[in-house]
Amino acid sequence: DIQMTQSPSSLSASVGDRVSITCRTSQSISSYLNWYQQKPGKAPKLLIYAASNLQTGVPSRFSGTGSGTDFTLTISSLQPEDFATYYCQHSYSKMFGQGTNVEIK
Amino acid sequence: QVLLVQSGPEVTKPGASVKVSCKASGYTFTYYGLSWVRQAPGQGLEWMGWISAYNGNTNYAPSFQGRVTMTRDTSTTTAYMELRSLRSDDTAVYYCVREAETAGTVYFLYWGQGTLVTVSS
């Protein structure tokens, strides 16, 4: 089974900061990697699919890079509405990473 | 628009079973697979399994194999997830999710509102 490891598990940042979250897989998954945002009490929302494709309607400050085993979600300038938990997901196995909680510093 | 409307909250006892429904609308039901994802309080997302709305084929996550059954009714465009032999650590919000696919990548685009299942004696 493919293992997915997100880092960090949590981070504190300020509005306007550039934030990066990493997802590492135990074996190569090509670009079959999705990213989701979840706010408390809400269902997750798709941000990025196939590692780098921005879902329609998602602000351009979100971007995804990577292939193989190492992937990164970057928020170029953190906005107040971006404080949430972020999950990566392997498209084929449908398994999720453990999540990264982005908190206000 | 695509809508997934789930059944209401459930409170049940250890050892019992629960069956959650997910009524789909706004698209051709048999064209897309549906997954079930759960989230225990304060925890991350856990994929439970998938059902083809077209032919009913299923694929369950190993940790739920033998304890979960996913079915669908094409006449009512409703999917069901039954979990048996419930334990207190099955207390969670359960989501149904409709998949989408682009260039070979499957992703979870549409989510139900979630159903809270509480297992308590």
Alpha-carbon span B74 to B4, nearest angstrom: 14
pLDDT of A52-83, one tens digit each?
999 999 999 999 999 999 999 999 999 999 99
At A105 the pLDDT is: 87
pLDDT of A84-96, one tens digit each?
999 999 999 999 9
At A1 the pLDDT is: 84
Give the Å distances, CA to CA, from B14 to A50, B63, B66, B67, B121: 40, 18, 17, 13, 6
At B81 the pLDDT is: 98
Average pLDDT of adjacent 10-residue blocks, chain B of 121 residues: 98 98 98 97 97 97 97 98 98 97 92 98 94
* Contact present, B30 and B74 (Cβ < 8 Å): yes
CB contact under 8 A, A91 and B107: yes
Question: What is the amino acid identity at position B4?
Answer: L
Residues of B in contact with A93 (CB under 8 A): 47
Alpha-carbon span A72 to A62, nearest angstrom: 11
At B43 the pLDDT is: 97
- Categorize the per-residue pLDDT at A45 as very low, low, confident or very high, splitting at 50, 70 and 90: very high
Alpha-carbon span B97 to B2, nearest angstrom: 11
Alpha-carbon span A1 to A27, nearest angstrom: 9
Residues of B in contact with A55 (CB under 8 A): 109
CB contact under 8 A, B105 and A32: yes
Is the pLDDT assigned to residue A97 strictly greater than 90? yes
Residues of A in contact with B102 (CB under 8 A): 49-50, 53
Summary mean pLDDT of chain A: 97
At B103 the pLDDT is: 83
Strands A10-13 and A100-104: parallel
